[in-house]
Amino acid sequence: MLYQETGQFITDYRLDKRFFRLKQERWAFAALLACAFLLVPAIGNDYWFSAILIPFLVLSLAGLGLNLLTGYAGQLSLGSAAFMAVGAFATYNFHLRVEGLPLLASLILGGLTAGGVGLLFGLPSLRIKGFYLIVSTLAAQFFVLWVFTNFSWFSNHSSSGVITAPRLQLLGIDLNSPVGRYLLTLTVVLALGLLAKTIVSGELGRKWMAVRDMDTAAAVIGISVPKTKLLAFAISSFYLGIAGALWAFTYLGTVEPHGFDLSRSFQILFIIIIGGMGSILGSFLGAAFIVLFPILLSNVSSGLLAGAIDPGQLENFQKMMFGALIIFFLIKEPNGLAQVWLTLKQRLRVWPLRF
């Protein structure tokens, strides 16, 4: 009933290739954007912005980056956090060392640097396949963090290794309030999200999926596998780099290597497992889940059990729940929350009938 496509005729290719083919979907998306840009800043409080919305948006972007590489191009990576770190530190250094460079330009340069580093660590993928490839991404993870911890030049010789992000300013508008940081993050994530959608529905996305499904077959039909793989690494790392810079600048307000350790990489991997591999929407759903679930869990435990469990045990319990959930999703719904959403949509389309 809600999703009826009767009367909506697609008469040329341009219409067929739109992101949202149904009128209802376009309206819903426009309404969502209006809410995010107008309603939320008007009614949200600082806790919502700083503790929920900004980390959700940044983690979505990171999930999106890994999804491009793992979900679409089929290259398993355990080094996502390293590329985030590169993005954060590069953005910081561009901002610090180039006089008068606008914030947006340093952000993009930071992302491009991360993309370059990603390309470099993607080079072994030309020769190494499958699981053996995780050695290269883990090498990136440990090496990059080591560089940032050991060479103080990157953190501007700060004695503690922790540096404060500069004031955020864009086109003369001060963005230091939680709302300002939220809007900046939202804009960047929206732009990159739409770009990702364009990429994956275009020629490059098709090539990625061909390589993912079987790279030998892809090579046989004339796809340049090396180029395709390297582009996946570069673009994915670009996304992760921007996400890292936003994580440091708009969420934490500090730039430090330890926020980007291996557990962060795992967290991003879990986002795409729970959200859905090879789905743009899935990255957002997965990130929402990862951000909200621990908050829910701690609220439930403090509400119901009134602090009867000690915090260490709670953390253990949370860890086990995450592990169990991942296994549950892999067994019951390998395509993640995105697939749940699609199923719901299909139900709505045929409602009140079943098929």
Partner 1 sequence: MNFFLEVLTGGLLAGVMYSLVAIGFVLIYKASGVFNFAQGSMVLFAALTFVSLLERGVPFWGAFVITLITMAVLAWLIELLVLRHLVNRSPITLFMATLGLSYIVEGLAQAVWGAQVHALDIGIDDEPYEVFGILLSQFDLFAAAIAGGLVVLLGFLFNKTRVGIALRAVADDQLAALAVGIHLQRLWLIVWAVAGFVGLVAGMLWGARVGVQFSLSLIVLKALPVLIIGGFTSIEGAIVGGLIVGASEKLAEVFIGPLIGGGIENWFPYVLAMLFLLVRPYGLFGDKAIERV
Nearest-CA neighbor of 133 among 199, 241, 230, 59?
230
Instruction: Indicate the residue among 11 and 263 with the shorter CB distance to partner 1.
Output: 263
| Smallest distance, partner 1 to C-beta of residue 200, A | 19
For residues 67 and 57, what is the distance between their CA atoms, to the nearest angstrom? 15
Q: Which residue carries 């697609």 as its tokens?
A: 10
The residue within the footprint of partner 1, chosen from 3, 37, 48, 266 (CB under 8 A), is 266
Q: Does 350 bind partner 1 (CB under 8 A)?
A: no
Q: Does 222 bind partner 1 (CB under 8 A)?
A: no
Q: Does 225 bind partner 1 (CB under 8 A)?
A: no
Point out which span in 137-145, 222-230, 242-250, 336-344 binds partner 1 (CB under 8 A). Answer: 137-145
Q: Does 293 bind partner 1 (CB under 8 A)?
A: no
φ/ψ (deg, to 5) at 164:
-85, 135
| Smallest distance, partner 1 to C-beta of residue 267, A | 11
Nearest-CA neighbor of 236 among 274, 275, 265, 273?
265
| Smallest distance, partner 1 to C-beta of residue 238, A | 22
Instruction: Indicate the residue among 24 and 335 with the shorter CB distance to partner 1.
Output: 335
Instruction: Tell which phi-psi region holds residue 105, choosing left (phi > 0), alpha (psi between -120 and 50) or beta.
Output: alpha
Count interface residues toward partner 1 (CB under 8 A): 42
Q: Does 324 bind partner 1 (CB under 8 A)?
A: yes
Instruction: Indicate the residue among 179 and 325 with the shorter CB distance to partner 1.
Output: 325
| Beta-bridge partners for 23 | none
Contacts of 12 (CB under 8 A, 6+ apart): none
| Smallest distance, partner 1 to C-beta of residue 237, A | 17
Nearest-CA neighbor of 64 among 83, 49, 51?
83
Contact letters (x/-) for partner 1, 72-91, by CB under 8 A? ----x---------------
Q: At what angle do helices 80-97 and 262-275 cross, to 10 degrees?
A: 120
Cβ–Cβ under 8 Å, residues 269 and 78: yes
Cβ–Cβ under 8 Å, residues 60 and 36: no
Contact letters (x/-) for partner 1, 94-133, by CB under 8 A? ------------------------------x--xxxxxx-
The residue within the footprint of partner 1, chosen from 269, 271, 280, 287 (CB under 8 A), is 269
Q: Does 322 bind partner 1 (CB under 8 A)?
A: yes
Q: Does 224 bind partner 1 (CB under 8 A)?
A: no
The distance from CA 331 to its chain's CA centroid, rounded to whole angstroms, is 23
Count of C-beta atoms within a 10 Å radius of residue 175: 20
For residues 100 and 96, what is the distance between their CA atoms, to the nearest angstrom? 9
**What is the binding site for partner 1 (CB under 8 A)?**
76, 124, 127-132, 134-136, 138-139, 142-143, 146, 149-151, 214, 216-217, 220, 262, 266, 269, 273, 312-313, 316-317, 319-320, 322-327, 330-331, 334
